[in-house]
Structure 1
């Protein structure tokens, strides 16, 4: 079920219990930053909206959903003229309480739903993996092998639903609606992936995805062990035209943790720069994956030789 919504006394809606949604919280934080950049306080915003300081405070905390008209008025007040930023924030206002498609699937817990909501809004996604193919690049067969390796992570009753959600999430990459960068350590490509057929299919899929114009694939060579130790696996996201990290997530066994504090984001941004610099170029990385595929024991097709 989606969150129940209740009317706000000063217009708009708020989540039952006053708990911010992911989008309303991000919108509120963006409005607060723009207000501070403009050198204004909440009383100036309240005057522009012909409202109260209390409402502005609830908007900035995400406890009340801002209406697109209110957002436009505040952005005018704060002299935010960038059309992309205005469109982004007005879109957040329109969609703050929209029910996500992922909530129709069983087994999507609150934390996972929060992560998918962030991912669905991201304009740039970058992921670093040590020994695995990133989830958004996994074939169904490889994902099944992963689940079989530890069947306690996803209950058998929810496994098919989990795979369907994963495939639905991957569509944003294949339809070009997000910029996606994957950095993997060499063992992630070399390590056996169940059967030879699964390994072969996964590498072919990796090659196919890596040739998309919105996808960048980089392989960190095994010898660059010092760079590989800069951080454990994580995924970073940004939500505007600027690819600067705005959120980072990492997975525990049955949970997804999202961090957004500037101090932590600075550390992950440093890790990404270290990894990008030490990894092979996209062209060299793609050649490496092709070489590994050709080295697998099977009949080589003309397509794979290219």
Structure 2
């Protein structure tokens, strides 16, 4: 069975609005569920964008919340767009379940900040580097699925650039010494990083090998996503490779991660500094 396609930001925004309208009206989950003749869990899943949007259900909820027509009309009108699958839908067969939620947010982010303690971050990897890393970490993976995953990464990179989103990457120099693939793969990856430093909207900072400990020393891969929709706060993505991926949206927790990455970037050599020799 193929994994579900993760919700788009439009879907998430509409789900948040439904929750806010329910809370504004003072309607409990149980009362909203009775209006739908459903279980409260159904309403909770709707508000968390964990299930598809049903026009009839949305209309019933808006009516129960006493939302006037002028306010309800744009919500109903936006159902079509919010119900469309994301562009990544066609790659869902090659994705991990958590990737669908992350890419859904990434696709609307105006700023992506990323840190990896030992490797070149995903959004700056060349296809050859990404494929070689996948072969090393998942030697039993089907070659066709591996190629699909590389295609997906290239499309993520292309769309990020096309939208003019900003990418800020903090990389330890150790990433340039971790041999992924052969010398040609590493040389190509290094050249791509050197070019990325000069691309508009891309900031790359490399922490030297002899740099003292900083705020992200020992921290697993961390990504901060800033989405323009006011209904959705910043998101933090924490990876524990081979174990799990945590998507954090609690404002206090996200702020804590932001402070750490700010401190680490402030301590690192300034952006634009030439890559260290290997």
Partner of 1:281: 270
- 1:153 offset after TM fit, Å? 7.5
What residue number does 1:102 align with?
A: 88
* Structure 1 residue corresponding to 2:154, chosen from 152, 158, 167: 167
Name the TM-score, length of structure 2 as normaliser. Answer: 0.72
Q: Distance in 1 between matches of 2:76 and 2:180?
A: 44
Report the Cα offset of residue 96 of structure 1.
2.2
- Residues 90 and 238 of structure 1: is their aligned pair in 2 closer, same or farther, counting only changes over 3 Å? farther
Structure 1 unpaired stretches of 5+: 5-19, 45-50, 78-86, 296-306
Scaled by the length of structure 1, what TM-score is found?
0.66
| Structure 2 CA distance for partners of 1:213 and 1:147, relative to 1, 3 Å | same
1:235 aligned residue:
223
Q: Is the 8 Å Cα contact of residues 234 and 249 (structure 1) preserved in structure 2?
A: yes
- Once residues 135 and 235 of structure 1 are traced to their aligned partners in structure 2, the CA distance between those partners, rounded to angstroms, is 10
- Separation of aligned partners in 2, 1:66 and 1:279: 49
CA separation of 1:91/1:264 partners in 2, compared to 1, >3 Å: closer, same or farther? farther
1:272 paired residue number: 261
CA distance in 2, matches of 1:260, 1:91: 27
SS in 2 for 1:232: coil
Work out whether residues 173 and 215 of structure 1, in 8 Å CA contact, stay in contact via their aligned partners in 2. Answer: no
> How far 1:229 sits from its partner (Å)?
2.0
Q: Given the superposition, is the C-alpha separation of residues 41 and 53 from structure 1 closer, same or farther in structure 2, using an over 3 Å criterion?
A: farther
Q: Is the 8 A contact 1:234 1:251 kept in 2?
A: no
Residue 140 in structure 1 maps to residue 127 in structure 2: yes
> Deviations for 1:239-277, whole angstroms, at most 9, x for unmatched residues?
018997334242532754322222321221121111111
Shift of 1:2: 8.3
Equivalent in the alignment of 1:187: 174
Equivalent residues of 2:220, 2:238 under 8 A apart: no
Mapped partners of 1:248, 1:30: distance in 2: 23
- Say if 1:153 and 1:250 are closer, same or farther in 2 by CA, change over 3 A: farther
Question: In the alignment, which residue of structure 1 is the partner of 2:40?
Answer: none
Match of 2:202 among 215, 238, 246: 215
- Structure 1 pair 98/277, CA: closer, same or farther in 2 (3 Å)? same
**Corresponding residue for residue 225 of structure 1:** 213
Contact 1:184 1:218 in 2 (8 A): yes
> Does the 8 A contact of 1:176 with 1:214 survive in 2?
no
- Kept in 2, the 8 Å contact 1:230–1:271? The answer is no
- State which drifts further: 89-98 or 203-212: 89-98
Does the C-alpha gap of structure 1 residues 171 and 187 become closer, same or farther in structure 2, counting only changes over 3 Å? same
Higher relative contact order (CA 8 A, sep 6+): 2
1:250 matched to 2:233:
no
- 1:123 aligned to which of 104, 110, 115: 110
The Cα shift of 1:65 comes to 4.2
SS at match of 2:171: strand
Measure, in 2, the Cα distance between the counterparts of 1:177 and 1:104: 23
Number of residue pairs the alignment of both structures matches: 250
CA RMSD of aligned residues (A): 3.9
